[in-house]
Structure 1
Amino acid sequence: MQRKKRTAMISLIMGILLLVSVFIYIFLPEHEQAKVETVKAIASVNQEQSEDTVEIPVEKTPEAEEVQTVPEEDEEKPITEEIKKRVREVVEIALDFFKKDQKIVAIGDSLTEGIGDETENGGYVGILNHTFEDHNLNVTVENFGKKGNRSDQLLKRLKEEDIENAIKDADIVLITIGANDIMKVLKSNFMNVTMEPFQQERLKYTERLEAIFNKINELNPNTQIYLIGFYNPFERHFGEIKELEIIIDNWNSAGEALTGEFENAAYIPTKDLFSNSVIDLLAEDEFHPNSSGYKLMAERVLEYLKESNKETEIDSVEVAQ
């Protein structure tokens, strides 16, 4: 009984060591010494098992009490082949999403253009582009952001030939739009901020945003659309005006609800990134993000791209510094 327990324990240890060796082989292929040491450990356990294992002899004679074991070299061969097979599977999965060139098209307002980025790297879109380049991914990024664009203006721009052609070939479309719609109402009511004019404009904004989604799907029904939500740039200087906070939340909720009506659309929140931050995330104009703010946005967008493209090479990508 004790011998059976010991044999079972040795088999368990072998299984664990084999699993560790597979992980080392897959994830640290450049560390040859680690592979050698792992193989030695397995061989050592094999040796212990060969010494401790007793087989029932065919004949009850001293000459027949020789232990019959599988030769070590025969046992290593299927292990090696299994490891190679697993490596091929992992590589195939990792590269599946990026076998062909992927294309991201960013459309919208100044947040897409990258206004406020003191490094002049193109805001969150530029950071994403540099990130893909740093990781040698076959991802191209086209930026059609335009400072001051409202939702009605973006809807008109979608008829421009260069934007149409870009969206037709896009795997992903990123959108920032609506901040200037809010600002237009705010400028007309700043001395007397009430909810009513913002509620009325929000309904029109939602209708235009739906038209934008429909136009994108008309051009390319196979693309994935991401609507990036608003943050509150007024929190620092006008935090006492609670209506502004409510307005931002209501407009974000409207955009998020609309994306839920489209199978190929998703909403990416950003308000929490800028709320109560201990570091300065806004540019000198106190409205647009600075490079630190855009970096947080890029990280958030990348999180959602990873979620939509699981088991792909993008899953291991980190935003460029």
Structure 2
Amino acid sequence: MVVLAGIGGAFFAFNGHHSLTTSKPQHINLVALGDSLTEGVGDEKKQGGYVSQIKSKLESKQNVKVSTANYGVAGNRSDQIEKRLKTQPKFQKTLKNADVIVMTVGGNDLFQRLQQEMFVSSTTTVKKDMSTALDTYQDKLTSLMTEIRKVNPKAPLFLYSIYNPVYVYFANVSLISQSVADYNEAAKKTAQADGHAYFVDINHDLSDGQYNTKAKRAKLVKQNKNVNGQGLNLARYNDVMSEQHKNSNIYISNDDHFHPNHKGYGIMTNHLYKVMMAHRDQWER
């Protein structure tokens, strides 16, 4: 009886301890802000892009309950995102209560400028103008980050890189890919200066798509030279933007050849999840 009592006591002690350590799911508020990539444009399943996917992934793999707020607006540049934050009290209040902040920014800053420059200026002028535009972008991104930190100084911020949505059609046009790389380097430095911001690099996965080896990319560059010549032709660019093409990127929407499709948002989600897990001490309690 003494032995049985001891076993019974051990059994109930174990179960008591187990019940105490099985906690309720942690609740986190994830606030996403930015441009069309946060809004979810291009997701043919109409499920909200990476915002809904990261919510599902965190809840299925971690002991968390996630509430999300989406402040992505298609077409917004960095200065327009900042203006919305400064002038919209609801946006400010929601961001203030965020445990996690995720942001997409920079694509419109870059590509709106590239479209203005590449078809009307000489190569020398374009390079000079793009260098000036890069400096302006870094200043604007720093200003945006400063404004975010005025509202919420502590929550970890996960900043997505930008990518080259038309790489598979213009792999031989180095100015586009180099500009993307330059803007990403500026964004990465800005994130590092913040101290609680982390860069989520999606550039090559989304830009390269199925051309994911050096040999495949070399073959693509050769093909593009035969079609495009040495530069970016306006007629060819408009053709790509308005038609379906056999070389389309498997992660980019065929509707506009610019935004991620559902698979592309899955790539974004996987990268975000990986970086969030690497810095889970910043948001898990």
Q: Which residue of 1 aligns with 2:44?
A: 118
Once the two structures are TM-superposed, the CA of residue 205 in structure 1 deviates from its matched residue by: 1.0
Q: Which residue of 1 aligns with 2:91?
A: 163
Once the two structures are TM-superposed, the CA of residue 306 in structure 1 deviates from its matched residue by: 2.0
Q: Which residue of 1 aligns with 2:112?
A: 184
Q: Which residue of 2 aligns with 1:282?
A: 252
Q: Label 1:232 to 1:311 Cα distance change in 2 as closer, same or farther (>3 A).
A: closer
What TM-score comes out, normalization by structure 2 length? 0.74
SS at match of 2:194: coil
Q: Which residue of 2 aligns with 1:301?
A: 272
Structure 2 CA distance, aligned partners of 1:73 and 1:294? 57
Does the CA contact (< 8 Å) of 1:195 and 1:247 recur in 2? no
Does the CA contact (< 8 Å) of 1:149 and 1:180 recur in 2? yes
Asked whether 1:263 is paired with 2:195, we answer yes
The residue type equivalent to 2:100 in the other structure is I
Does the CA contact (< 8 Å) of 1:260 and 1:266 recur in 2? yes
Q: Label 1:85 to 1:226 Cα distance change in 2 as closer, same or farther (>3 A).
A: same
Q: Which residue of 1 aligns with 2:147?
A: 215
What TM-score comes out, normalization by structure 1 length? 0.67
Q: Which residue of 1 aligns with 2:231?
A: none
Comparing both chains, which one has the higher relative contact order based on Cα–Cα distances under 8 Å and sequence gaps of 6 or more?
A: 2
Deviations 1:298-317 (A, max 9, x none): 12112222222259989xxx
Once the two structures are TM-superposed, the CA of residue 89 in structure 1 deviates from its matched residue by: 7.3
Q: Label 1:195 to 1:78 Cα distance change in 2 as closer, same or farther (>3 A).
A: farther
Percentage of identical aligned residues: 26
Does the CA contact (< 8 Å) of 1:151 and 1:209 recur in 2? yes
Does the CA contact (< 8 Å) of 2:156 and 2:283 recur in 1? no
Which runs of 4 or more aligned residues in structure 1 lie more than 6 Å from their structure 2 counterparts after TM superposition? 311-314
Once the two structures are TM-superposed, the CA of residue 290 in structure 1 deviates from its matched residue by: 0.4
Asked whether 1:107 is paired with 2:77, we answer no
Does the CA contact (< 8 Å) of 1:152 and 1:208 recur in 2? yes
Aligned with residue 22 of structure 2, among 91, 98, 104: 91
Counterparts of 1:73-88 in structure 2, within 5 Å, are 80=11, 83-84=14-15, 87=18
Q: Which residue of 2 aligns with 1:127?
A: 53
- The alignment yields a C-alpha RMSD, in angstroms, of 2.8
Structure 2 CA distance, aligned partners of 1:246 and 1:170? 34
Does the CA contact (< 8 Å) of 1:185 and 1:197 recur in 2? no
Aligned with residue 66 of structure 2, among 110, 117, 139: 139
SS at match of 1:283: coil
SS at match of 1:302: helix
Q: Label 1:76 to 1:211 Cα distance change in 2 as closer, same or farther (>3 A).
A: same
The residue type equivalent to 2:174 in the other structure is K
Equivalenced residue count is: 239
Does the CA contact (< 8 Å) of 2:58 and 2:66 recur in 1? yes
Deviations 1:69-121 (A, max 9, x none): xx9758857865785577467535xx5xx54x321111111101111111111
The residue type equivalent to 2:75 in the other structure is G
Q: Which residue of 2 aligns with 1:148?
A: 75
Deviations 1:151-198 (A, max 9, x none): 111111111112111111111111101101111211112234543222
